[in-house]
Amino acid sequence: MTDPEMDIPSLESATEEDPLFKNFSVFLLSLIVGFLVYWLVFRKKKDVMVIKDVPIQPPTSVRETSFIEKMKRTNKSIVVFYGSQTGTAEEFANRLSKDAQRYGMKGMAADPEEYDMSELSRLTEIEDSLVIFCMATYGEGEPTDNAQDFSVWLQETSVSLEGVNFAVFALGNKTYEHYNAMGKFVDRRLAELGGRRIFDLGLGDDDANLEEDFVSWREQFWPAVCEHFGVEATGEDCSIRQYKLVVHSDVNMSEVYMGELYRLKSFKNQKPPFDSKNPFLAPVTMNRKLNKGGTRHLMHLELDISDSKIRYESGDHVAVYPINEASIVNKIGEILGVDLDTVISLNNLDEESNKKHPFPCPTTYRTALTHYLDITNPPRTNVLYELAQYATDPKDQEKMRKMASSSSEGKALYQAWVLESQRNVLAVLEDMPSVRPPADHLCELLPRLQARYYSIASSAMMLPNSVHICAVVVEYKTKTGRINRGVATNWLKNKVVMDNGHKSTVPMYVRKSQFRLPFKASSPVVMIGPGTGIAPFIGFIQERAWLKQQGREVGETVLYYGCHHRSEDFLYQEELEGYERSGVLTQLNVAFSRDQERKVYVQHLMKRNKEHLWKLINADGAHVYVCGDARNMARDVQNVFCEIAEELGGLTHTQAVDYIKRLMTKGRYSQDVWS
């Protein structure tokens, strides 16, 4: 190979030989220097211009992880941590931190995910300090997403919490097996580590009246706190604003949030990973009605995730972010006499707070009421109390204050006039014409609009680039004669594949679940899912079919499904019957509850097949899955399994109940239920 150095004469020798080379060398050096100057100056200018094309973001400060140092710096003695999945626990935490001001104390609400929770033992460094936990339970006794790390730390730590004052309010639902498991765990564990419980654990039941449970607990909690710390229990009620309004008259609209949840322009410039703060805009590729008749609308949607890098497994949940109905938003704007397209920011009066705004700002009133705020659920008592100050009619003011009170008469009135009548904030404003709050205060008071979760009705093994949803559209008439519509299902119903030449999209992400098929495909499975409870089992069956196609040994696959009429709402009938013919489904048991005079449900069919079910569970090691209504169906199904265990297993009732609970503990009896 030729030596490259032999082919290029040195610059020095060329200069000595010919003056032409001297001129050439100067030219060459000038050219090189000129190129370097161009590259260093103009190339960098070009890079800067590209950055300028991106809307300017406010500088992101390093988030402080020491809640102790923050409390010391801001002279606060009470911290309220929340484990929240749907926003309710966070809302309660904010109310408690506000309450502290009414008793001459200063409090802060805090997300445990944002702080170093191992600092709990340092609370003794702050005089008369108190930590409160508002803890919701998710799924089968699991912590909420933002409390998972805290839960693990609390379980494993041996730190001493001696001298740490604490109280816990738990949020749960009695229809679930593990009622308020997280709140009970936190309360018990804090005491085991030496913490001082200054008030009894509060248990909130969302199946009954969670708001009343919280108000009743809170009513007794604060006097106990005042007694413990020797503070006078004045508890004077007054309106305390948390945010101040800023109206932007001259603003670049490219820097205004138009529905994005966290990062500005995240819907236009989609970047993975996609999660609760950064949902993927999945194109809708199919939206079809599943039922052939009846008054209900049951739908099947397919979302394309091929460009998202999102991965899911059968049994996972898809979270979708809906928007409120435009007609409701417009009516609120009309009643309040506000220009909905005004660009605003609501800035936290506490500059030290990690939560700078109640929702992404700057934005418009229209965007806030459409994308960010819950305007369709009945308002809680604290919202009524705050709105009462704007009533010009004394009767309206008295009524709202009474409903917000903790008196038995007030609780009964709130239950009847707000909850049972299903009045949302628009209905309240319509039925109390003298109540006209400023739009910014209403926006401050309303809770955030939450994502809706659906069991995925497909298998990633068969359909890796598509997520399917099966849902029933919610619509009903209230006692006041109004028609209330489910926010998410009605929004999804109208998601056509193409809308004015553009693809319809749904902001979504996937949340992992513990609802999983057995590791061994040869293990038998028994699935019970009436109505839209069939959703995850469509994914399970698809996965078993795929495994069978790959030549894997697949165990018995038994389905118990229920609907009203064979001719009306037998969902996925063709698919299920096809899987039965191919042998993927070894048993398809369908209960048509209203096709005969006496109603027949899935539990009746289970009793008929009790011998086969007992053999599968007791002898063959089958895994049982239940999906659907928690209040009645799931409980009835569990009772049937207990009866079968008693009759065919020779167990007492107590032994049968323990037997089913052991199956749950081993992961062989799983539930994906809702109330």
Instruction: Report DSSP state, residue 252.
Output: -
Q: Is 146 exposed, middle or buried (0-12, 13-18, 19+ CB in 10 A)?
A: buried
Q: Give the pLDDT band (50/70/90) at residue 47.
A: very low
Q: Is 137 annotated as a binding residue?
A: yes
Q: What are 411-422's pLDDT values in tens digits?
A: 999 999 999 999
SS (H, E, C) 481-504: CCEEECHHHHHHHCCCCEECCEEC
- CATH class of domain segment(s) 525-673: alpha beta
Q: Which residues contact 197 (CB under 8 A, 6 or more apart)?
A: 166, 167, 187, 190, 191
In terms of Cβ atoms closer than 10 Å to its own Cβ (0-12, 13-18, 19+), residue 570 is buried
**Helix boundaries (H) for 197-286:** 210-229
Class at the top of the CATH hierarchy for domain 271-322+451-513: mainly beta
Confidence class for position 240, pLDDT limits 50, 70, 90 = confident
Q: Which residue in 41, 135, 149, 141 sits closest to 96, CA to CA?
A: 135
- DSSP-derived secondary structure for 32-69: HHHHHHHHHHHHHHHHHHHHHTSPPPPPPPPPP--HHH
Share of the chain above pLDDT 70, in %: 90
| Structure tokens given for 537 | 């089992």
**How large is the average pLDDT for residues 512-541?**
97
Judge whether 104 is annotated as a binding position: no
Check whether 518 has a pLDDT greater than 80. Answer: yes
Calculate helix-pair angle for 535-549, 573-582, nearest 10 degrees: 30
Where is average pLDDT lowest: 433-437, 619-623, 671-675?
671-675
> Is 326 among the annotated ligand-binding positions?
no
**Which position has the higher pLDDT, 349 or 239?**
349
Domains 67-229 and 525-673 share a fold: yes
67-229 classified as CATH 3.30.930.10? no
Side chain identity at 144, as an amino acid letter? T
Fold of 324-450: NADPH-cytochrome p450 Reductase; Chain A, domain 3 (1.20.990)
Of 491, 253, 287, whose CA–CA distance to 362 is shortest?
Answer: 253
Each domain of the chain, given as residue ranges in start order, spans 67-229, 271-322+451-513, 324-450, 525-673
User: What SS3 state is found at 136?
Assistant: strand
Q: Is the pLDDT of residue 9 over 50?
A: no
pTM of the model: 0.86
* Residue 600 assigned ligand-binding role: yes
Contact 116, 66 (CB under 8 A): yes
List, for residues 220-230, the tens digit of each pLDDT value. 999 999 999 98
Q: According to the annotation, is 601 in a ligand binding site?
A: yes
Positions marked catalytic: 455, 627, 672, 674
pLDDT in tens, 542-596: 999 999 999 999 999 999 999 999 999 999 999 999 999 999 999 999 999 999 9
Measured between alpha carbons, how far is 88 from 86 in angstroms, rounded to an integer? 6
**For residue 25, what are the contacts with CB-CB under 8 A and spacing of at least 6?**
11, 14, 15
Beta-bridge mates of residue 466: 304
DSSP string, 299-346: EEEEEE-TTTT----TT-EEEE-----HHHHHHHHHHHT--TT-EEEE
pLDDT of residue 411: 94
Q: Is 54 annotated as a binding residue?
A: no
